[in-house]
Amino acid sequence: MRPGEGNFGGLDLRRTIAGAVFCLAGLLLPAWADEDAARDVFLKSERALAALNSFQADFEQAYFSMTVSEPLREKGRLSYRKPGRMRWEYRSGSGQIIVLSDGVMETLIPEENQLIRQIIPDDQADGALFGLLSGRTGLADAYRIENNPFPGAEGPVHQLKLTPLEEGETAYLLVEIDARTFFLRRVVLFDWAGNKNEFTFSRLKTNPRLGPNVFVIEVPDGCEIIDNVDPRRS
C-alpha cells in the first residue's frame, strides 16, 4: 500500500529540473492559497452529494485499534435517501444492520438477536461520517481543511485533511475525493487515542429508487428490543 523507494537511475535531467521547480513553487505558495484550494474541492464534493436524492455504494470498513494487533475488517452495502436516511448493511463479519432515520438510529445485532433504538444528537448526525455522506451544507465551516496526500490512492483523486475547529471525539479525518465525480472514495477517522476507522466506497449508483422499506429493519422472532427512544417498547 505504501509507495516504495524511488529508483533514480537514468532519470531524465529535464524532468528532475521541472520537478524541482514545481516543488519550489509549492514552497513559495502562501498557506492560505493552499487552504482555499482544498476548501474549494471540499465544497464541490459537498454540492455533488447534496444534488443527489439517493445513492447506493459498496463499502469496506477497517478498524485499527491501538490495543489489537490485527484490524477488524468488514464490508457491506450503504443506501442513502433524502432527507438524512441511511442504511448500513454489513454482509460479512458481524452481519449488523444500522438504520438512521428521522434522528433515530436502530442497530440490529444478529449475534445477540438484539435491536437497539436510540436518538442521535444533532451534532453527531450532522458531523463526521454521516454529515459528509449526506452532503450536509455548512460542514466546511466546522473544519480546518488542507491538502494532505496519504497512501493508497488509485486513479485521479483529491486528498484532504479535516481538523475539527471544536474539540470532540474525532481528532481529525482524512478524506479522499474522486477528481471526476467528487464523490467520497475514502474517509479515515482518527480519535484521540490513536485508533483509526477507515471506510472505502465503490460501485456508486446515483439516484436509485429506494422505497421506505429499505430504511425499516425487519425484526426477527424473539428479538430483544432495547428502546432508548420510547422505553415502553422495550
Per DSSP, the residues of 29-61 read: S-HHHHHHHHHHHHHHHHHHHHT-SEEEEEEEE
The candidate with the shortest Cα–Cα distance to 179, out of 203, 154, 197, 144, is 154
- Cα 82 from Cα 118, distance rounded (Å): 20
**Torsion-angle region of 110 (φ positive above 0: left; ψ -120 to 50: alpha; else: beta):** alpha
From the number of C-beta atoms within 10 Å of its C-beta (0-12, 13-18, 19+), residue 87 rates as: buried
Beta strands 114-119 and 224-227: pairing type? parallel
pLDDT for position 162: 94
Stretch among 30-34, 39-43, 60-64, 67-71 having the lowest mean pLDDT = 30-34
Give the residue, 10 or 82, on which the prediction is more confident.
Answer: 82
| Per-residue model confidence as pLDDT tens digits over 81-131 | 998 899 999 998 789 999 998 889 999 999 999 999 998 765 555 456 777
* Residue 103 pLDDT: 84
- Cα 143 from Cα 3, distance rounded (Å): 28
pLDDT at 125: 53
User: Which comes out higher in pLDDT, residue 168 or 205?
Assistant: 205
Choice between 9 and 178, residue whose per-residue pLDDT is larger = 178
- Asked whether the beta carbons of 199 and 61 are under 8 A apart, the reply is yes
pLDDT surpasses 80 at 203: yes
Residue with cell 471525539: 169
Architecture of domain 30-233: Clam (2.50)
Q: Which of 203, 229, 208, 218 is nearest to 82 (CA)?
A: 208
Residue 84 phi/psi, 5° resolution?
Answer: 70, 30
Element (H, E) at 25: helix 13-28
**Residue 213 one-letter amino acid:** N
Average pLDDT, the chain: 82
End-to-end CA distance of the chain: 46
Break the chain into its structural domains and give their ranges. 30-233
Are the C-beta atoms of 120 and 105 separated by less than 8 Å? yes
pLDDT grade, residue 153 (50/70/90)? confident
